[in-house]
Chain A
Amino acid sequence: MANKIKISELIPKGAPLSTTDLLMISQETPDGFESNSITGAEIIESAQEGLQRTLVSGTSIKTLNGNSLLGSGDIAISTNPKLLGFSGKIGTQTSGTAVTICHSVLIPANTLTTNSILQIVFRMYRQNGNVGQMYGRIYFNTSNSLTGASLFNTTFTMNGGGTQYLGLVERNLSYNGTTLIGYSNVAFSEFTTGTALTTALNRTVDNYVLLTMACQNSADIANIDIVKVFAYV
């Protein structure tokens, strides 16, 4: 006959429960003893039911571009091309001959490499009036200001008095680390031949793409209502 021990008299194991442990309790019956047992593995499984398992990077949780997702903090997701900025609404309006920045987009320092493409798309918008011409231009500057800015030397023109209310302009500029090369033509798109236009750009500092409008007539109001600037790097 087995010894009888009260549960309160059991000696603690003194170590964490392991999967190989076995807990057995015997109950005295008229015929002798009836035993019930449970393994350490079953206790652990039961205790962990509904709990999140410890994540193992690359095993139970995927990695992101080779980076572990474990821990705190932010993981910047790099895309190519990089969207440097966009807008789907009008910016600062202008009237009269004042050249005004309607929208600007920052090119952070060291974004461009020695082999990059800068894609600039914007839509000139006749916000009010239909009297005279409207002029869209692209400038580059190291500050968000026109003063001292370099002109991408093409003027995009919408005529007044007709149906020229919108004009979508696109320029793709190649960049070799020092110089932007674009298409010099007053045409809004580039799907034709033209001469090359170069603009020096120091990629190691912040640069702004300044998208401006001006009007021929003070009765008109010009603006820009679509902006997309991408960098292929």
Chain B
Amino acid sequence: MNESEFHFEGEAEILNDEQAHVPTDRGVIFMDTTMTIDNESFNNINDFLTKLYGK
């Protein structure tokens, strides 16, 4: 497995409009809306997580 590869496990815990805890096989990772996915920016964490989980 690539060192930068993570597998999601379970539901994310939304902390507020901009921050969330995302469970992975390597532990819980803090993510926020400063992160981009495929160069796409997000205004709120719900949209970010929707994209992240591919829903």
Contacts and interface: CB of A to CB of B under 8 A. Distances in A.
Interface residues of B, number: 14
Interface string A140-155: 0000001111110100
A139 B30 CA distance: 8
Nearest to B28: A151
B34 interface: yes
A151 B29 contact: yes
Q: At the interface, is chain B mostly helix, strand, loop or mixed?
A: strand
A146 B32 contact: yes
Interface of A: 96-99, 139, 146-151, 153, 198-200, 214
Interface string B7-34: 0000000011011010000111111101
B15 A214 contact: yes
B35 A148 contact: yes
A82 to B, nearest CB: 25
A200 B30 contact: no
Contacts of B15: 97, 99, 214
11 contacts: A97-B19, A98-B16, A99-B15, A147-B35, A148-B29, A148-B35, A149-B29, A149-B30, A150-B27, A151-B30, A200-B26
